[in-house]
Amino acid sequence: ATERKALFLFFGGTGDLAYRKLYPSLFNLYQKGNLRSHFAVIGTSRQAMDDDKFRAAVRKSLADSGNRADSKEVSDFSSHFYYQAHDVTNTAHYSVLKEAAEKLDKKYKLEGNRIFYLSMAPQFFGTIAQDLKSQGLMSTNKDAFNRLVIEKPFGRDYDSAKQLNDALSKSFDEEQIFRIDHYLGKEMIQNIEALRFGNTLVESLWNNRYIDNIQVTLSEKLGVEERASYYDNSGALRDMVQNHIMQIVSLLAMEQPVAFTDTDIRAEKVKALRSLRVYNVADAATNFVRGQYGSINDQPDYRHEDNVPEDSTTETFVAGKLLFDNYRWSGTPFYVRTGKMLADKFTRVDVVFKRPLVDIFAFPQSQNTPLAANVLTIFVEPHAGFSLQLNAKTNDAGFSTEPIKLDYLVDAEKSKETPEPYERLLHDVLKGDGTNFSSWPEVSYAWKFVDQIRRVWDLQEPQFPNYTPHSMGPAAAEELIQRDHREWIYRL
Ligand code: NAD
């Protein structure tokens, strides 16, 4: 592994995400040798704490993540961690941070490379970015890098996203900004490109002549849990569709990039999103449906969860149909759905091919059932793999056909070696590879699409609750696809 030199500054360094994902991921990179002796971490948040206490919390976070490294390795790693109390809204505090950064840069010979990771409420992103620049925290060494990593959500509509982006752009160039979408760090999402562009068999059929429709499902089993106050202001459309689903869909829909580089891939994703049809009011109302979960047994409905207002109209489920107006996809819809409190926790993509134009097995005397559609399923999680449904002859004396499946599942041992999304994404940031992050044009097209749907929904009072927990959402999600004489491949 190549060792990368950098100083990490984590804003929100005592938060849930930092302890649960970011520090364990850094440790994995350390164990693999991507980080060795030339790195240091400054954790910041408002509370007072000394380095020792912070290091102990970091070590605990590694243990909690299940890493059973020996204690020497863990303590060597945690010795690179430093804590600085810092209120991000107080400009004067940044000079203290600057001194600490310069000291560590010298001590660990970091050559001025800096990664600023904002793991806190987005309302602070603009201020932080501005002060990082105005207070001289960004390295001025011309061979060094300054990179800004930001968590979701990126705005709550196009206007607020644009405002946020304008604020960030005053300090950082687009190539320096890494917008996290952790779905892009998932093994099987990255595999979409390998599957498509590495296989003639797949890519030659990957268009509206052979594909009838594509279905993307991000299903969650749990309800809103502790995130209610955030979630109730967001809802499934903003929380899942605008970012994760749009990213997955653009990888499925894009043209072949000239080369496998971040610039080329982004260019194709942006082109795909530009041809996504932005609905007018009437079409948004027919092509998107929403839901909110009801109660079951002694489990409360969404409106009676802690921190949710009793008249909340926030959707916990959304399903919709996306149409691309381009040569490859015209006439082939993409159906998407996501929600909380559904039957199971999984993410999958089902690519449904057209049936043969002529079914020669359906001659008059034949008892044969009509040929099934070929379906290519990409299992993203919890199990990673592919499945291809084909028609084959039944193994008997007569002649009838039946659907069979070619399955490839990544085995459990191998899955354990798969890097966590955050590990992969942090490694990408260290390398300066923006492939698996959302660029501003992608984010802005996604918001413009989503805003139209929100606009329509905000005009109508929904009939909530409208779906039973542990189902696959409201009846409207079934009607949405049945209206087109199709059905969801994954069904109960
Ligand atoms: P959190 O509330 O656990 O942590 C927030 C951190 O910010 C804490 O360290 C807190 O002390 C600090 N902070 C708050 N106000 C401050 C101020 N004025 N000055 C300095 N520090 C301040 O949040 P989290 O769950 O870790 O989430 C962080 C970010 O990551 C958010 O943008 C969130 O949307 C995103 N995110 C979180 C998760 C997750 O699983 N937790 C998943 C995806 C995205």
- Within a domain: 245: yes
Q: Do residue 195 and residue 144 come from a single domain?
A: no
DSSP symbols for 300-347: PPGGGSTT--TT----SEEEEEE-B-STTTTT--EEEEEESSBS--EE
Q: Is there a domain that residue 428 lies in?
A: yes
Where a domain ends, among 151, 171, 196? 151
CA of 13 to the centre of ligand 1 (A): 8
pLDDT at 367 over 80: no
Count of other CB atoms within 10 angstroms of residue 258: 11
Reply yes or no on whether the pLDDT at 366 is more than 80.
Answer: no
Assess whether 258 and 383 both reside in one domain. yes
Hey, which residues does 205 pair with through a beta bridge?
Answer: none
Residues 297 and 399 in one domain: yes
Rounded to the nearest whole angstrom, what is the distance from the C-alpha of residue 405 to the centroid of ligand 1? Answer: 44
Q: Is the dihedral of CA 491, 182, 244, 160 positive or negative?
A: positive
| 137 and 213, same domain (yes or no) | no
Q: How many residues does the chain have?
A: 492
- Check pLDDT > 80 for residue 364: no
CA distance 390 to 409: 17
In a domain, 1, yes or no: no
Give residue 400's pLDDT band: very low, low, confident or very high (50, 70, 90): confident
Q: Which residues are registered as beta bridge partners of 335? A: 215, 321
Number of domains in the chain: 2
- 245 and 133 together in one domain: no
Q: What is the pLDDT of residue 413?
A: 85
Tell whether 424 and 468 lie within a shared domain. yes
Residue 119 sits in a domain whose CATH number is 3.40.50.720
Residues 420, 321 share a domain: yes
412 found inside a domain: yes
Measured from the Cα of 17, ligand 1's closest atom is 26
Q: Assess whether 332 and 224 both reside in one domain.
A: yes
Burial of 66 (0-12, 13-18, 19+ CB in 10 A): exposed
The residue whose C-alpha atom lies closest to atom 31 belonging to ligand 1 is: 120
Range from 337-341, 343-347, 367-371 carrying the lowest mean pLDDT: 367-371
pLDDT of residue 257: 97
Calculate how far, in angstroms, residue 17's C-alpha sits from the geometric centre of ligand 1.
Answer: 7
Centroid of ligand 1 to alpha carbon of 151 (angstroms): 9
Res 414: pLDDT: 84
Which atom of ligand 1 is least distant from the CA of 182?
43
175 part of a folded domain: no
| pLDDT interval class at 398 (50, 70, 90) | confident
Q: Are residues 349 and 211 in the same domain?
A: yes
Give the pLDDT score at 397. Answer: 84
Regarding an ipTM greater than 0.85, the answer is yes
Report the C-alpha gap between 202 and 213 in whole angstroms.
15
Residues lining ligand 1, CB < 6 A? Answer: 12-18, 45-46, 86-89, 119-122, 151-152
Q: 230: Cβ–Cβ under 8 A, 6 or more apart, which residues? A: none
Catalytic residues, by residue number, are: 244
Q: What are the tens digits of pLDDT across the range 8-28?
A: 999 999 999 999 999 999 999
Q: Are residues 235 and 357 in the same domain?
A: yes
Q: Which pLDDT band holds residue 116 (cuts at 50, 70, 90)? A: very high
226 — pLDDT class (breaks 50, 70, 90): confident
268 and 122 assigned to the same domain: no
Is 159 inside a domain boundary?
no
CA distances from 220 to 183, 196, 287, 324 (A): 14, 27, 22, 27
Q: Please state the rounded mean pLDDT for residues 431-446.
A: 97
CATH number of the domain within which 419 lies:
3.30.360.10
Strands of the 81-85 sheet, one edge to the other: 81-85, 39-45, 6-11, 114-118, 146-150, 177-179
Any domain includes 367: yes
Q: What is the best residue among 44, 91, 120, 232 to mutate for testing ligand 1's pocket, by most ligand atoms within 8 Å of CB? A: 120
- Give the residue-averaged pLDDT of 469-483: 98
Domain of residue 42, residue span = 6-151
φ and ψ at residue 165, rounded to 5 degrees: -65, -40
pLDDT class of 417 with cuts at 50, 70, 90: confident
10 Å CB burial of residue 82 (0-12, 13-18, 19+) is: buried
Nearest CA residue ID for atom 11, ligand 1: 45
14 CA: nearest ligand 1 atom: 9
Percent of the chain with pLDDT over 90: 92
Please state, rounded to an integer, the average pLDDT across all residues of the chain: 96
Reported confidence tier of residue 196, pLDDT bands at 50, 70, 90: very high
Residue 113 has pLDDT above 80, yes or no: yes
Maximum separation of any 2 CA atoms in the chain, in Å: 86
Q: What is the pLDDT of residue 300?
A: 95
> Average pLDDT for residues 298-305, to the nearest whole number?
95
Task: Output the CA 60–ligand 1 centroid distance in Å.
Answer: 19
Q: Tell me how far the alpha carbon of residue 28 lies from the centroid of ligand 1, in angstroms.
A: 22
Ligand 1 pocket test: pick from 9, 16, 438 the residue with the most ligand atoms within 8 Å of its Cβ. Answer: 16
Instruction: Classify residue 402: in a domain, yes or no.
Output: yes
Residue nearest to atom 7 of ligand 1 (CA): 12
How large is the average pLDDT for residues 478-488? 98
Instruction: Give me the mean pLDDT over the 41-58 stretch.
Output: 97
Better-scored residue on pLDDT, 416 or 128: 128
Same domain, 20 and 133: yes
Atom of ligand 1 nearest to the CA of 150: 32
Closest CA to ligand 1's atom 23: 15
Q: Which residue's CA is the nearest one to ligand 1's atom 38? A: 17
- On the CB side of 373, CA atoms within 13 Å amount to 17
